[in-house]
Amino acid sequence: MAQIVAATTNQKKLVELRKLLSSQEVEVIGLDRYKNYPDIEENGVSFEENASIKALAANRYTDLPAFADDSGLCVEALNGEPGIHSSRYAENDQERIAKLLNALDGQANRRAKFVCAIAIAFNGEVIETFVGEIHGVIGDAPRGANGFGYDPIFIPDGYDKTFAELPSDIKDQISHRAVAVKAAVQFVEDEMAACFNDFN
Ligand code: ITT
């Protein structure tokens, strides 16, 4: 079976990525396979740039085709923040959520979107990037235990539950990550299937 490296250190993200790719004829290898994998500085100014940095580093390190996900929550009333800084916004999920709710205290506009960029790197080059978004609102307090990150405070449009309350199958159908992965899979099927098969 063809192999591809998922360049993420976030185990919950990896679980979602593996599920989204489960119908594909591909083995998704995690970075945990590479014990001395270096820390990669995400110094890009966009989700696409950071996904590209991570995918390229993994492709160069492993010599296997690689892809990376850079994602985050963009809040309208905070001029798009935390955005690409979502993971660095505070020390852990609980503190990130508390800080965000605090920043929105008294704010009537609670519109937000999750964004996910997926970059694919192959033979030392970034081949393509894909972006998925899902729009919704920030709830008043955290609810639910599924998912990860900001899921307990994000209510997608068309639902009255947070991503952390909804079953994971629903999130996997509609999320920013699902949209970006779907576009990436379509591209690989259309344009790259031969390269992947030759390579592996
Ligand atoms: P890698 O860079 O190693 O993949 P990371 O967690 O640091 O791991 P990012 O730099 O892409 O990943 O930061 C994404 C952050 O955005 C993540 O840590 C969450 O806080 C948030 N996030 C992204 N997707 C999310 C989702 O589906 N649900 C909830 N929060 C999400």
Q: Dump pLDDT digits (tens) for 148-162.
A: 999 999 999 999 999
Question: Can you tell me which residue has the tokens 């996904």?
Answer: 51
- Examine the pLDDT at 197 and tell me if it is beyond 70: no
Average pLDDT over every residue of 56-78? 98
Q: What is residue 189's predicted lDDT score, i.e. its pLDDT? A: 86
Q: What is residue 190's predicted lDDT score, i.e. its pLDDT? A: 85
Nearest-Å Rg of the Cα atoms of the chain is: 17
Predicted model pTM: 0.95
Q: Measured from the CB, is residue 86 less than 6 Å from ligand 1?
A: yes
Reported as a pLDDT band with limits 50, 70 and 90, residue 199 is low
Contact 7, 54 (CB under 8 A): yes
Whole-number percent of the chain with pLDDT over 90: 92
Q: Best mutation site among 5, 9, 10, 155 for ligand 1, i.e. most ligand atoms within 8 A of its Cβ?
A: 10
Q: What is residue 64's predicted lDDT score, i.e. its pLDDT? A: 97
Cβ neighbors of 119 (< 8 A, separation 6 or more) are 48, 51, 52, 54, 55, 56, 67, 68, 70, 126, 128, 129
22-54 residue pLDDT tens: 999 999 999 999 999 999 999 999 999 999 999
Please name the residue whose Cα sits nearest to atom 16 of ligand 1: 72
93-131 residue pLDDT tens: 999 999 999 999 999 999 999 999 999 999 999 999 999
Q: Is 70 a catalytic residue?
A: yes
- Examine the pLDDT at 147 and tell me if it is beyond 80: yes
Please name the residue whose Cα sits nearest to atom 2 of ligand 1: 8
The minimum-distance atom of ligand 1 relative to the CA of 70 is 11
Q: What is residue 196's predicted lDDT score, i.e. its pLDDT? A: 61
